């Protein structure tokens, strides 16, 4: 018997799997229930990790299918997951975090199937594999909507210290800006945990307080540099922009 679990407002994800395929420019598409989110029929080998329903971290290979610029159907999972769980996914060298919106026990080689949507502000890791018609629908943020502190997808070394235990945690942030970062750890700290953070800007060692704002078990945690003065944040952002200049270039002009 097939068992399907849905999250709130996730019915569209399952309906998309059963709709008739359409073809544009020789590439198969699946249209969502609303017709607003076309999906390409792909078969991509990806890496998936997170915290299973048994409360144990997992890492495994899986297959992404019926993909769009905002999500995909992932099959071949061996660990149980729940609607609302956040998992990490990687295609080629590109990583992202996704939220589980539906779960289906498919059986056979497909094992467990899940529907996922990219967490806000995450870049689509399989964007290069989508048909050009779908990639052209990707919105470029206007100058008014760009983050004040642009995030950089680079590996940046940091040292955190929870003063309650005074044990240093040396990590590399994978998503960082002058205002905070995301750190991949299997056992993230509790939200609101206050930490001391140390890092380097060129030859200068910077020390500040930071606060855990989000936690995704088995994946990582989001941290805000709460104790860093505004001028220091701007200086750190300028340092990151110099390390990773590509993201700081202005995007294409939007039509009037």
Q: Are 76 and 48 in contact (CB under 8 A)?
A: no
Q: 10 Å Cβ neighbour count for 221?
A: 23
Of the listed ranges 81-90, 101-110, 159-168, 237-246, the one predicted with least confidence: 101-110
CA dihedral 78, 38, 121, 135 (to 10 degrees): 120
Tokens, residue 119 = 């967490």
Tell me the per-residue pLDDT of 12-47, one tens digit each, with 9 for 90 and over: 444 444 433 333 334 444 434 444 457 888 899 999
Rg for the chain, CA atoms, rounded: 20
Q: What's the gap between Cα 2 and its chain centre?
A: 29
Same domain, 128 and 159: no
Same domain, 132 and 172: no
In this structure, is the dihedral angle defined by the CA atoms of residues 75, 81, 82 and 86, taken in order, positive or negative? negative
pLDDT at 147: 60
Tell me the per-residue pLDDT of 124-145, one tens digit each, with 9 for 90 and over: 999 999 998 887 766 555 444 4
Same domain, 128 and 189: no
Asked if residue 208 belongs to a domain, the reply is yes
pLDDT at 3: 47
Same domain, 129 and 210: no
Q: Does position 256 have pLDDT exceeding 50, yes or no?
A: no
Q: Does position 8 have pLDDT exceeding 90, yes or no?
A: no
> pTM of this prediction?
0.74
Asked if residue 63 belongs to a domain, the reply is yes
Where does a domain end: 70, 104, 138?
138
Asked if residue 254 belongs to a domain, the reply is no
Question: Strand 57-65 vs strand 94-107: parallel, antiparallel, or unpaired?
Answer: unpaired
| Rounded-to-integer distance, Cα 6 and Cα 61, Å | 23
Range 99-110 average pLDDT: 85
Where does a domain end: 111, 138, 165?
138
Q: Does position 100 have pLDDT exceeding 90, yes or no?
A: yes
pLDDT at 48: 97
Asked if residue 255 belongs to a domain, the reply is no
Q: What burial class does residue 74 get, using C-beta atoms within 10 Å of its C-beta: 0-12 exposed, 13-18 middle, 19+ buried?
A: buried
Number of domains in the chain: 2
Tell me the per-residue pLDDT of 186-245, one tens digit each, with 9 for 90 and over: 999 999 999 999 999 999 999 999 999 999 999 999 999 999 999 999 999 999 999 998
pLDDT at 24: 37
Same domain, 95 and 128: yes
Same domain, 8 and 106: yes
Q: Does position 249 have pLDDT exceeding 90, yes or no?
A: no
pLDDT at 37: 58
Asked if residue 216 belongs to a domain, the reply is yes
Tell me the per-residue pLDDT of 40-84, one tens digit each, with 9 for 90 and over: 888 999 999 999 999 999 999 999 999 999 999 999 999 999 999
Same domain, 106 and 150: no
Q: Are 59 and 52 in contact (CB under 8 A)?
A: no
Task: Give the domain CATH number at 130.
Answer: 2.40.10.220
Asked if residue 185 belongs to a domain, the reply is yes
pLDDT at 29: 41
Q: Which domain holds residue 66?
A: 4-138
Same domain, 54 and 173: no
């Amino acid at each position: 018997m097939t068992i399907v679990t849905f999250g709130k407002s996730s019915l569209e994800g399952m309906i998309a799997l059963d709709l008739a395929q359409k073809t544009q420019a020789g590439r198969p598409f699946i249209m969502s229930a609303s017709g607003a989110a076309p999906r390409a029929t792909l078969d991509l080998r990806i890496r998936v990790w997170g915290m299973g329903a048994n409360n144990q971290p997992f890492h495994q290979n899986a297959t992404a299918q019926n993909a769009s610029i905002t999500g995909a159907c992932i099959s071949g999972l061996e660990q149980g997951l729940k609607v609302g769980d956040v998992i990490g996914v990687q295609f080629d060298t590109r990583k992202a975090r996704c939220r589980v919106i539906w779960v289906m026990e498919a059986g056979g080689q497909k094992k467990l199937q899940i529907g996922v949507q990219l967490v806000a502000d995450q870049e689509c890791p399989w964007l290069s594999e989508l048909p050009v018609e779908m990639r052209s629908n990707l919105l470029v943020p206007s100058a008014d909507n760009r983050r004040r502190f642009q995030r950089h997808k680079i590996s940046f070394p940091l040292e955190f210290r929870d003063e309650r235990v005074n044990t240093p945690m040396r990590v590399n942030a994978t998503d960082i800006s002058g205002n905070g970062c995301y750190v991949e750890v299997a056992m993230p700290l509790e939200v609101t945990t206050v930490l001391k953070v140390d890092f380097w800007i060129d030859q200068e060692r910077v020390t500040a307080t930071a606060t855990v704002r989000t936690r995704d078990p088995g994946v990582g945690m989001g941290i805000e540099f709460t104790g860093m003065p505004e001028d220091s944040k701007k200086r750190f952002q300028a340092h990151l922009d110099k390390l990773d200049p590509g993201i700081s270039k202005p995007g294409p002009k939007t039509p009037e």
